[in-house]
A and B are shown apart, each in its own frame.
Chain A
Amino acid sequence: MEDHGSAALRSLLEVLPDTVLETHARLGDATACVDPTRILTVLRHLRDEPGLEFDMLMDLCAVDFLGSEPRFEVVYHLYSLAHKHRVRIKARVPEAAPEIDSAVSLYPGANWMEREVFDLYGVRFTDHPDLRRLLLYEEFEGHPLRKDYAKEKRQPLVGPGN
């Protein structure tokens, strides 16, 4: 695997070579696919290593690759305020057990983003302090951004009188 000239990927490959499954830097975005069970190790390394210091978790989202296994991909976009560089970390989780460790202990800002991913994709984040739906209501059935959720699907009415 190559580091594509990115300091973050180089450091990951040197220090935690067994966690990285794949790297690329297409379109200038340094990207590493990592082992989902080691995601916190990877994020902690990226956050604390001098010279990298990815102190902001800019974005956390998921992508549903229906038909391929593992099905869900959780995507982290990190930004370093000191060095002004970015890296994208991806971890694939299987459909049967869509679970990954929560990053809230490292980045408190992950709280709402993880709730949103749980809400819309049904990926569970273990050790999340408050894993509730964020955008939708409690009675909503299913996870709407999954590819097998039809756009036209209607939800049952909830509330008093129904």
Chain B
Amino acid sequence: MAGGRNSLTERVLDTPEDDLERDLHTEHHVLNMGPSHPATHGTVKFLIELDGETIVALDIQVGYLHRGFEKECESGTWYQAIPYTDRLNYNSAILANIGYCMAVEKLLEVDVPERCLWLRVLACELSRVGDHLTRCGAACLELAAMTPFLYGIEARELVWDLQELLCGARVTSNYIRIGGVKHGLPADFAVACRESIAKVRALLDDFEAVVTSNRIFVDRLKGTGMLSKEDCIRYAVTGPLLRAVGEPLDLRKDQPYLVYDEIDFDVPIGEVGDNYDRYLVCMEEVQQSLRIVEQCLDKLEKLGPGPVNSEDPRVRWPAKGRVFNQMEELIQQFKSVTEGPRVPEGEGYLAIESANGELGFYLVSDGSAVPYKVRCRPPSLINLAPMPLMLKGALLADLIPTFDFINMVGGECDR
């Protein structure tokens, strides 16, 4: 070994200077990252072509979590698709629930009671808080900051406990129904919710104290993963990614659905559209969502108890109390379960602002009790598509925060 090293040293020392500078015939190195890599939460494979540490080309392979959501929906009744929508984005299941149910309601032209609208907004915003906290927390974790991740997840845990109190499950809520919600607000919810919001706010303060002006964190995020406004629009990027470049597209403001037009909240936007802006936009959105939750609680208290489901006989499952002892209601129950609503022939597209961007459902009905086509516009997939553009010429290490703030969720991306 020693002899070998010596001879190498000698050879290098002997080499004339111009010989050192000649081309070394380097070639690009192709790195396979994923499908199961700690940073590719969700399952996604990157084929990265590297020149040293610089990314030359990037090919993203998705689909490892494809389970035929759309095909599965076409084989059950309309309401049987609701639990499947839970599994689209596991960070914010209720948002997908609401998107699907509102799309079916649009086709059926069913109106829901006011109390239900406020309940849905409440559930929606709780989900959004959970989603953004996961995104920012996981990003910190992958940039080697374990503590803020734990604070973020602790705050998310509080939010998920609220979801459990409300829906009966932390993640797969299955709470929204066509024409309403499963059940009203539990008695102890308002108190628990206010308590948790205060705790979440305190944790967020700690989170920001540790991270937001931390030089290491800021250096990793600033100027990385930039996507210009024009490219965002050309690639139909929506959600926090688009707002980070300074384009205030938020469907809650631009095409108000549910009761968002009666609620006071702000839309945060960024300046340049790098990962730092995305982080700040997400953190501000959490604060805004908490504000919305409080307004919903106030309003629900003011509205008092009452029906949370539409009275339309096509979508209403009869009240159980009467199913037990009235023949007509029992027959209605059998019809509701075995067949469900027969949705009039037609098509409809309905989009809501999910945590990742525009979550759209395009439904086609042939007039039967089974959906003819359920198309979900997955914001994760569409936001992921311009990722090679964001990373062209960037360092390999920049891939991690960029991918984190795109927040690709396998369940929704691959469906």
Asked if A52 lies at the interface with its beta carbon under 8 angstroms from chain B, I say no
Residues of chain B within 8 A of A108, CB atoms compared: 231, 234-235, 386
Residue contact B63 to A137, C-beta cutoff 8 Å: yes
Chain A interface extent, by class: 35 or more
State how many angstroms separate the Cβ of A141 from the closest Cβ of chain B.
Answer: 15
- Known contacts A84-B254, A84-B255, A111-B385; is A55 also within 8 Å of B233 by CB? yes
- Known contacts A59-B362, A81-B247, A112-B382; is A151 also within 8 Å of B377 by CB? no
Asked if A134 lies at the interface with its beta carbon under 8 angstroms from chain B, I say yes
Please, how many angstroms separate the alpha-carbon atoms of A56 and B62 in the complex? Answer: 23
Residues of chain A within 8 A of B125, CB atoms compared: none
Question: Which residues in window 9-64 of B have CB below 8 A to A?
Answer: 62-63
Question: Which residues in window 86-129 of B have CB below 8 A to A?
Answer: 106-107, 109
The chain B residue with its CB closest to the CB of A135 is B63
Question: Which residues in window 80-136 of A have CB below 8 A to B?
Answer: 81, 84, 86, 88, 107-109, 111-113, 116, 120, 133-136
State how many angstroms separate the Cβ of B133 from the closest Cβ of chain A.
Answer: 27
The chain A residue with its CB closest to the CB of B373 is A63
Cross-interface CB contact of A136 among B66, B72, B107, cutoff 8 Å? B66
Residue contact A113 to B255, C-beta cutoff 8 Å: no
State how many angstroms separate the Cβ of A102 from the closest Cβ of chain B.
Answer: 14
State how many angstroms separate the Cβ of B99 from the closest Cβ of chain A.
Answer: 13
Asked if B285 lies at the interface with its beta carbon under 8 angstroms from chain A, I say no
**Which of the candidate stretches B208-216, B325-333, B346-354 sits at the interface with the other chain?**
B346-354
Chain B interface extent, by class: 35 or more
Residue contact B109 to A27, C-beta cutoff 8 Å: yes
Asked if B145 lies at the interface with its beta carbon under 8 angstroms from chain A, I say no
The chain B residue with its CB closest to the CB of A110 is B236
Asked if A61 lies at the interface with its beta carbon under 8 angstroms from chain B, I say yes
Query: Residue-by-residue, is B231-259 near A (CB-CB < 8 Å gives 1, otherwise 0)?
Result: 10111111000000001010000110000
Residue contact B349 to A77, C-beta cutoff 8 Å: yes
Please, how many angstroms separate the alpha-carbon atoms of A63 and B233 in the complex? Answer: 26
Residues of chain B within 8 A of A81, CB atoms compared: 233, 247, 249
Residues of chain B within 8 A of A145, CB atoms compared: 70-71
State how many angstroms separate the Cβ of B14 from the closest Cβ of chain A.
Answer: 48
Question: Which residues in window 46-92 of A have CB below 8 A to B?
Answer: 55-59, 61, 63-64, 75, 77, 79, 81, 84, 86, 88
- Known contacts A135-B63, A144-B71; is A59 also within 8 Å of B349 by CB? yes
Residues of chain B within 8 A of A136, CB atoms compared: 63, 66
Asked if B7 lies at the interface with its beta carbon under 8 angstroms from chain A, I say no
Residue contact A77 to B234, C-beta cutoff 8 Å: no
Residue contact A58 to B358, C-beta cutoff 8 Å: yes
Residue contact B382 to A29, C-beta cutoff 8 Å: no
Cross-interface CB contact of A109 among B71, B235, B254, cutoff 8 Å? B235
Residue contact A112 to B107, C-beta cutoff 8 Å: no
Residue contact A26 to B375, C-beta cutoff 8 Å: no
Closest 8 CB pairs of A and B: A135-B63, A109-B235, A109-B236, A59-B377, A112-B385, A135-B66, A61-B375, A56-B236
Residues on A close to B: CB < 8 A? 26-27, 29, 31, 55-59, 61, 63-64, 75, 77, 79, 81, 84, 86, 88, 107-109, 111-113, 116, 120, 133-137, 144-145, 149, 151
Q: Return 23 A-B CB contacts under 8 Å, by A number.
A: A27-B106, A27-B346, A29-B349, A55-B234, A57-B236, A58-B238, A61-B362, A61-B375, A63-B364, A63-B372, A63-B375, A75-B362, A77-B349, A81-B233, A81-B247, A109-B236, A116-B381, A120-B70, A134-B62, A135-B414, A135-B415, A151-B68, A151-B71
List 6 additional contacts besides A64-B373, A81-B249, A135-B62; criterion CB under 8 Å: A27-B107, A59-B375, A61-B375, A75-B375, A134-B63, A144-B68
